[in-house]
Structure 1
Amino acid sequence: MGKILSTIKHPFRNFNLESRAHKIIGQSKPIPAPKFEKDELDLQRLQKQYPEVFKEGLRKDEQLDQHLKDVYVVSHDPVSEIKQPQNPNRPLPQDRSQPDMYLFGHKEPEKVPLGDPKLHTAENISKVYKLPESTVSNILKYYRVFEIYVPENVKKTKGKFAAPSKPSSYVTKDISKLLPSSDFNKKNDS
């Protein structure tokens, strides 16, 4: 119901809007907003008790007005750019483009030195990290970064069994082929 009333009132509200706005703007002195009753009573009470202070507040102060007229403000554009001398020992980067995205979030070194084998022995590492020495020696012996080696020439051999074989890992596109049919479920229920 509110939307209907607002759509009806909308043209009446905007009727002769421009001339009403010019009339209000063209008034010489703006009409002050009405005061609350309590504020009006306080103002009348102050006028009766302190009439000289009230008249002084309404009087125009010529000295203050003259000081305001004497004030002259000069503004300047801000200095465009103040260049600081660049330290030759610590130059700022000239390339401000963002670094490339890497696989693990940071750039991996292309070549990693092996380190001093006398300093980084299994015994020293086990002391630092408080691990058993046998575990550390096994880690140093068998652990390698994950790498995939794909042979270039792969021989394709025929299967030796007559039955079709199913690979250990495969990708299925249609999962419904793997699920038992609804006829199978009905037979098992009865």
Structure 2
Amino acid sequence: MSTMGARVARMFRNFNLENRVHREISRDKPLAAPRHPEPSHPDPVPDREIINEKNAPLLNHLRSLYVESTDPTHSPQPSTPNGAVAERRALQYSVPMQQLGMSELTDVPKGKLTLAEALKALGSHQQQPQTWTVEKVAQHYSLDPRDCRALLGFFCPFRLQIIPPKDTRSKRITDS
């Protein structure tokens, strides 16, 4: 069946092929784009004497410069996007990273939290909301109160929500 289809396809493809080829050959060819005119004068090649010639005013300016360079004695502090040095605070809670093959953190920039600190702050606020208020958590971890309020309000990793079934006849997990 496939040879039959190939024959039919070849027949349609080759139909009136010779006339189509002659028509395409006799058609006027498109004109090429005009060439860019060559410049009337060639670029001057710089003379070697001009290149090797010394310029006295530039040499005098170069001799008047004096640059002192020293190695930095203190380690560079991480900076914020606006160029100011970021203040750092000691780590409150940490996860031992040596087991995972990573270096352990000792301090973090103010306004930032590690994952362990974030989970501890969320858990403390969820268990004791009267003791761990938004302001106390923000002060304890050196956070912006607005960011802390958003973190404690919208990020709830420990909340369990059971959705009731649509059908009353279906069994629930707590049912036996």
For Structure 1 versus Structure 2, the TM-score category normalised by the shorter chain is under 0.3
TM-score (normalizing by structure 1): 0.24
TM-score (normalizing by structure 2): 0.26
Larger radius of gyration: 1
Instruction: Considering Cα pairs closer than 8 Å and 6+ residues apart, tell me whether 1 or 2 has the greater RCO.
Output: 2
